[in-house]
Structure formats: structure tokens, C-alpha cells
Amino acid sequence: EVQLLESGGGSVQPGGSLRLSCAASGFTFSSYAMTWVRQVPGKGLEWVSAISGSGYSTYYADSVQGRFTLSRDNSKNTLYLQMNSLRSEDTAVYYCAKNWGPSKPFYDYWGQGTLVTVSS
């Protein structure tokens, strides 16, 4: 059974940092690109960042480019999102999601989400 378990969310002041983790199980982690999608409570979905299976390629939304860094440790089946220079508009539930397949960036499994609150 595929499972994705996010952790690391919490409250932080503007300008602060957080690192989110996503522990994966039930599939060959290194074979799949992974993605973070966020959702402001009560609002829609926003794609944040993606990483290839090998970790060599990363992609970012313009809204987080230069502030967020996505990485993965395939030996630990874990995805990481380092978030720096956080802003109030980064407040959201952050979901990690497994890409369905190569060159098909839609998402067949999602974690339960972790809430990030940026507020003074």
C-alpha cells in the first residue's frame, strides 16, 4: 500500500524557515518524480515544486523560486522541502504527492497534508 506521510509543519514568523518532510512507502521511491502542492484553507490547489526520481531535476513555481529548495534522499525514501524567507502568503496545507509516471505529472497518491502558518 502506498503511503505518504508529511511532517514538519507548524507556525513560524515572517522571514523564518521550515523544513517539510514526506516519508514514502509502498512503492519504488526512486522511480517516481514527486511533487508538493499547497492549499490555503478553504481555497484551491497550487502546484509548488517537483523533483525527478533521481533528484537531478527540480522545478519551482514562480511564487517560491529562490526561497524554497526541494530535495530527496532515495536511500531513506524521503522528500524534503526547505522553505526559507517565509511570507504570510505561504500559509497553507502542504501536500506531497506521487507522480503517476514519467512525463505524466498528475498525482495518484497524496499525503494527508501538513499545515504551515506564517504569522507574526
DSSP code at position 75: T
- Angle, alpha carbons 104-61-114 (nearest 5°): 85
SS3 89: helix
Contact between 80 and other proteins (CB under 8 A)? no
Q: Contacts with other proteins in 34-73 (CB under 8 A)?
A: 35, 37, 44-47, 50, 59-62
Q: How big, in percent rounded to 5, are the helix, strand and coil portions of the chain?
A: 5, 55, 40
Q: Is 27 in the site for other proteins (CB under 8 A)?
A: no
Least separation, in Å, of the C-beta of 69 and other proteins?
Answer: 15
Place of cell 517565509: 86
Smallest gap, in angstroms, from Cβ of residue 108 to other proteins? 5
Beta bridge partners of 115: 93
Question: How many whole angstroms from its chain centre is CA 18?
Answer: 12
Which of 80/109 has CB closer to other proteins? 109
For the window 100-119, what string marks contact with other proteins as x by the rule CB under 8 A? x---xxxxx-xxxx------
Applying CB under 8 A, does 95 fall inside the site for other proteins? yes
Contact residues: other proteins, CB under 8 A: 35, 37, 44-47, 50, 59-62, 95, 100, 104-108, 110-113
